[in-house]
Amino acid sequence: MKKPGRSIWQYTLFGISFGFCFPLLALTFDVLIHYRLKFNLESILFVHRENPIHYLIDTAPFFLGLAFGVAGYYQYKTRMLNASLLAQASNLKNANDQLTKAIDDYHAAQHQMLKTEKLASLGQLTAGIAHELKNPLNFINNFSESGFELLDELLVTNDPEERKEIIEMIRSNLQKIHQHGNRSNNILKNMMMHARSGKAERRMSDINQVCKDAAEISFHGTSSNILGFSCDFKKEYADEIPKTWIVHEDISRVIINLLTNAFYAVTERKKNEKAGFVPTVTLKTSFVNNTYIKNKGTIFISVRDNGTGIPDHVREQIFHPFFTTKPSGEGTGLGLSISQDIMEAHGGSLSVDSVPLDHTEFTITLPLIVPGS
């Protein structure tokens, strides 16, 4: 790179030569040519006494040379400043490239975290689904076997009253088979919804229905994973909550995660409590309408439990990725972190209030969004 201070010497040398050499030449010219005198101090003084304007003529080049020298200095400073700015710009570009790469790496890691958490919750979900499907399938098998036996009885009896009674029992069995078949179908739909891959899209969704589906999945998943699990599970759904524009699967995942944590907390506390302790988890929805703006308001979803609670020093870290209070192998430490990211992506928030050995309450705040309003 060309050194920025090169021009100062050009301007300085020119200023010195112009400021000192030219006045000497002017004096010599005045003395020798105009007055034809010897070039000495007396002749110089004589010339200036005879024509005082020579003071200005002889000193003007000197000050002009100084001006060139000052101009050279400031040009030097300008070039130095430009070089410094270019160096800073280069450093900023490098820093920006590194930051862009770091952001890309962060998004890639976040995506991987989401996949890890999804696989973990899917494993728990699968166990719960298997446990839940076992009951209706057993009913279907039992009623089918009973139907075959009733058909055999129908073929051998000639009593009209008995035939009528057998036909009613067969009809009742078929209704129950249909009922439990629908139940199995709904369970599988919930599983497919939760395990859905790819980028889910927003759609108008009923928050109460999202909570109901999530409650069923998380409760049966916990029942299958924790031996002897029991809990007073209360559900308080507010009436007339408007549908809102959300990613159904993501909000469901947040609620499932909060409920699963609540069930775990009350189970852990029950291990150390007396016989009178009743594990209690409450899932509640509410809506605050903005009376001044149409289709505006806030939806609240809370999950409250009377489990172990969260100490103050832990509460500050629970939303950090990979932080977990569960034993090794029982938690990924990603659930609350991803849940918070999901809520922020929806323009909402996730907050917590807790008193150890009393209660923990997570509150989802979700703005009502109606496209086109």
How many degrees, rounded to 5, is the angle at CA 122 between CA 141 and CA 351? 125
Q: Are residues 373 and 242 in the same domain?
A: yes
Most confident of 52-56, 164-168, 205-209: 205-209
Q: What is the mean pLDDT of residues 1-27?
A: 58
In a domain, 107, yes or no: no
State how far the Cα of 168 lies from the Cα of 156, in Å rounded to an integer. Answer: 17
Residue 5 confidence (pLDDT): 46
| Residue 341 located in a structural domain | yes
For residue 52, tell me if it sits in a domain.
yes
- Are residues 211 and 87 both part of a single domain? no
- Of 101, 122, 155, the residue at which a domain comes to its end is 101
Q: What is the largest CA-CA distance in the chain?
A: 163
In DSSP terms, 205 is beta-bridged to 244
What tens digit of pLDDT does each residue of 40-72 get? 777 667 766 776 766 666 666 667 667 766 777
Residues 6+ apart with CB under 8 A from 185: none
**How does residue 1 score in pLDDT terms, banded at 50, 70 and 90?**
very low
Instruction: Using the 3D structure, point to which of 101, 133, 153 is the last residue of a domain.
Output: 101
Residues 255, 365 within the same domain: yes
Instruction: Calculate the alpha carbon distances from 34 to 18, 214, 285 in Å.
Output: 22, 111, 109
Listed in sequence order, the residues at least 6 apart from 204 whose beta carbon sits closer than 8 Å to its beta carbon are 243, 244, 245, 370, 371
**Contact predicate 331/324, CB 8 Å:** yes
State how many domains the chain has: 2
Residue of higher predicted confidence among 187 and 337:
337
39: confidence class by pLDDT, cuts 50, 70, 90: low
Question: Does 351 lie in the same domain as 225?
Answer: yes
Expressed as residue numbers, the domain containing 84 is 6-101
pLDDT of residue 186: 65
Write the pLDDT tens digit of every residue in 344-371. Answer: 999 999 999 999 999 999 999 999 998 8
Residue 170 resides in a domain: no
Identify whether residues 84 and 206 lie together within a single domain.
no
* Listed residue (176, 122, 171, 136) closest to 151, CA to CA: 171
pLDDT value of position 182: 75
The strand pairing partners of 288, in sequence order, are 298
The verdict on residue 194 lying in a domain is no
Q: Is residue 217 part of a domain?
A: yes
CATH number at residue 367: 3.30.565.10
Residues 49 and 44: their CA atoms lie apart, in Å, by: 9
Whole-number pLDDT of residue 124: 56
Least confident among 95-99, 128-132, 232-236: 128-132
11 located within any domain: yes
Domain boundary among 79, 101, 123: 101
The band of 34, judged by pLDDT with boundaries at 50, 70 and 90, is: low
Strand residues in the chain grouped as ranges (E): 203-205, 232-236, 244-246, 280-289, 297-305, 349-355, 359-367
Residues 85 and 212 in one domain: no
d(CA 153, CA 324) in angstroms, rounded, equals 61
